[in-house]
Amino acid sequence: MTTAMLFILLFGCMLMGMPIAIALGLSSVTTILLFSNDSLASISLKLFEATTSHYTLLAIPFFILSSAFLSTGGVAKRLINFAVDAIGHVRGGLAMASVMACMLFAAVSGSSPATVAAIGSIVIAGMVRSGYPEAFGAGVIANAGTLGILIPPSIVMLVYSAATEVSASRMFMAGFIPGIMMGLLLMIAIYIAARIMKLPAQPFPGFGALARSGVIALGGLMLIVIVLGSIYGGIASPTEAASVAAIYAYLIAVLGYRDIGPLKGVAWRNGNEGMGSAVVRNGVLMLLAFPRSVWHPEVRKVLVDAAKVSMMLLFIIANAMLFAHVLTTERIPHQIAEVIIQWGLPAWGFLIVVNILLLIAGNFMEPSAILLIMAPILFPIAMQLGIDPIHLGIIMVVNMEIGMLTPPVGLNLFVTAGITGRDMVWVIKACLPWLGLLLFFLILITYIPQISLFLPEYIDKLRGY
């Protein structure tokens, strides 16, 4: 009765158009008041604990702030230039370079919609000008943008870690090889399609131009080394790495690339100015600009926008944690686990059920909310069937990638529609051919656990665990 009431209230509120966070909180509070001995005071305490007792969750606002600075600045443009110089000369190379740029930006942002917005707003129009069909470019970017939640650091992985108390560092390690593999699969598919469709190739700019664009993009690329290097090397936790990433992203956008803030548009060197004079002048400029940059209108806007996104996500997490508390208190996951085990369902059969449930849920809910609702239910069952929790986490993340491309709530579809100015039906048709590739990738990830587990196990072996 309690289980039925909880889920009827949840889906009833959602069907009424209520925001997911409110629906989770209202259904949980109502169920507690009607069927539990818990008091209202315990509810407020649980909401407070949801966002303060999970140290991993502190990384989320820092990664969001880092992503906001990099998206506002010209990091995406510089990464695209480097990618085009590197592989643009191959047939279909501009589309392949777009995928490479998405992979690089994913490794510094942790967000799928941000990756689509930052890369797609530049490259889709560029592909059309170069002779690519617009639907082809839109489909490629919408699908490649999903790598934002698979290639670490990933906000969705942090949410899974908080919901299941699995190591966020190990999740980041596990996502690295699948993310590279998915990017390569997309590039191979693009190359085959380009040969069939006779898509153009860009002229090779030469190794000098490639080296120059690489050096210019190094400011953004260094963030990958700082974050992943410190986590994989055991130097910092994901939360500590996220805070460093936010500071570095601020410095590189405001004082390094100078795309926002008081030094916006100021060149590093003027005319024939010598290197020594340029270093001195820039040192003085940065010392003078640093105190003022914090209060600059453009910087303040980035801070406010990042704070809004962080508060929205943490509000969803707090209510979802309350929902998970009700599930655990009423032993709902354990009852479901007992039923599934009584069915005699093998691990491979359970994973089919998991994928079907998550693919359906991805049509109607935001990824973080799905993980926070489903992970407490699926996690105990997976443990009893001997499925590795890290493997389960990567399976769930890949399902969330597909959910970004399925209507009516696919976030990447909305972002792509906004960039292209097309309607949702056109965007969905553009994404469909590439969606099959993601489904094939999901099967590989589900039934070849070592794709996800090789790197964390190897690094554990190096550390002597």
| Sign, Cα dihedral of 316, 317, 319, 323 | positive
pLDDT band per the 50, 70, 90 thresholds, residue 443: very high
Query: Could you give phi then psi for residue 227, rounded to 5 degrees?
Result: -70, -60
Helix axes 93-109, 207-232, angle to 10 degrees: 30
Count of C-beta atoms within a 10 Å radius of residue 129 = 9
Render 187-212 in DSSP notation, one character per residue.
Answer: HHHHHHHHHHHT---PPP--HHHHHH
- Residue 253 DSSP code: I
Between residues 342 and 223, the one the model is more confident about: 223
Q: Please report which confidence band the pLDDT of residue 276 belongs to, taking 50, 70 and 90 as the band edges.
A: low
pLDDT of residue 390: 94
SS3 146: helix
When pLDDT is cut at 50, 70 and 90, the band that residue 265 belongs to is low
> CB of 89 within 8 A of CB of 132?
no
- Amino acid identity of 239? T
Return the percentage of the chain with pLDDT > 70, whole number.
Answer: 89
Higher pLDDT, 203 or 281: 203
Q: Which of 122, 140, 221 is nearest to 187 (CA)?
A: 140
441: confidence class by pLDDT, cuts 50, 70, 90: very high
Q: What is the pLDDT of residue 263?
A: 66
> Which pTM was predicted?
0.84
**Residue holding tokens 């690089």?**
104
**Cα-Cα-Cα-Cα dihedral sign, residues 442, 375, 245, 319:** positive
Q: Tell whether the model's pLDDT for residue 275 goes beyond 70.
A: no
* SS3 category, 272: coil
Question: What average pLDDT does range 114-130 have in this prediction?
Answer: 85
User: What Cα–Cα distance (Å) separates residue 214 from each residue in 67, 81, 420?
Assistant: 20, 9, 29
The answer for 386, left when phi > 0, alpha when psi is -120 to 50, beta otherwise, is left
CA pair distance 153, 460, nearest whole angstrom: 19
Cα of 114 vs its chain's centroid, Å: 8
Q: How many CB atoms lie within 10 A of CB 342?
A: 8
Longest Cα–Cα distance in the chain = 79
Question: pLDDT tens, 394-412?
Answer: 999 999 989 888 877 778 8
Residues 223-251 have a mean pLDDT of: 84
| Contact in structure between 263 and 285 (CB atoms under 8 Å) | yes
**Which pLDDT score, from 0 to 100, does residue 355 have?**
92
Instruction: List the single range of 18-22, 136-140, 265-269 with lowest mean pLDDT.
Output: 265-269
* Window from 210-214, 324-328, 359-363 with minimum mean pLDDT: 324-328
pLDDT tens per residue, range 45-93? 777 776 666 667 788 888 888 888 887 757 878 888 888 888 888 888 8
Judge whether 410 and 122 are in contact, CB under 8 Å.
Answer: no
DSSP secondary structure letter of residue 399 = H
Confidence of residue 391 (pLDDT cuts 50, 70, 90): very high
What confidence score (pLDDT) does residue 282 get?
62
Across the chain, mean pLDDT equals 82
- CA nearest neighbour of 268 among 282, 254, 249: 282
Residue 189: its pLDDT value, please? 93
Residue ranges in 133-259 assigned as alpha helix (H)? 134-144, 155-164, 168-197, 207-232, 238-251
Extents of the domains making up the chain: 57-301
- Please tell me the distance from the alpha carbon of residue 317 to that of residue 58, in angstroms, as a whole number: 12
- Cα–Cα distance for residue pair 124/420, rounded to 1 Å: 8
Between CA 145 and CA 115 the distance in angstroms is: 5
**DSSP-derived 3-state class of residue 139:** helix
User: For position 330, what pLDDT does the model report?
Assistant: 72
- Residues 418-443: what's their mean pLDDT? 88
Residue-level pLDDT at 281: 63
* pLDDT (tens digit per residue) in 366-378: 788 788 888 888 8
- Predicted confidence at residue 267, as pLDDT, reads 65
The mean pLDDT of 241-262, rounded to a whole number, is 82
